[in-house]
Structure 1
Amino acid sequence: MGRHRRGARREFTVADLIEELRRFDPRLEVRLATQPRMPYEHTVGAVAEADGMVWIGEAKQQGYAPDEVADRLGWR
Structure 2
Amino acid sequence: MGRHRRGAPREVTVAELIEELRRFDPRLEVRLAIQPRMPQEHAVGTVAEADGMVWIGDAGQRGYAPDEVGERLGWL
- Pairwise same-fold verdict (TM > 0.5): yes
Structure 1 consecutive aligned stretches of length 4 or more whose deviation exceeds 4 Å? none
Query: Does 1:44 find its partner at 2:50?
Result: no
Superimposed CA distance per residue, residues 36-57 of structure 1 (whole angstroms, 9 cap, x where no aligned partner): 0000000000000000000000
What is the percent sequence identity of the aligned residues? Answer: 81
Q: How many residues are matched?
A: 68
Aligned equivalents of 2:10, 2:52: Cα separation in 1: 11
- What is the Cα deviation at residue 11 of structure 1? 1.8
In structure 2, stretches of 5+ residues that fail to align are 1-8
Question: What amino acid sits opposite 2:32 in the alignment?
Answer: L
Instruction: Name the residue aligned to 2:25.
Output: 25
Alignment-derived partner of residue 11 in structure 1: 11
Question: Whole-Å Cα distance in 1 between the matches of residues 17 and 11 of structure 2?
Answer: 11
What corresponds to 1:67 in structure 2?
A: 67
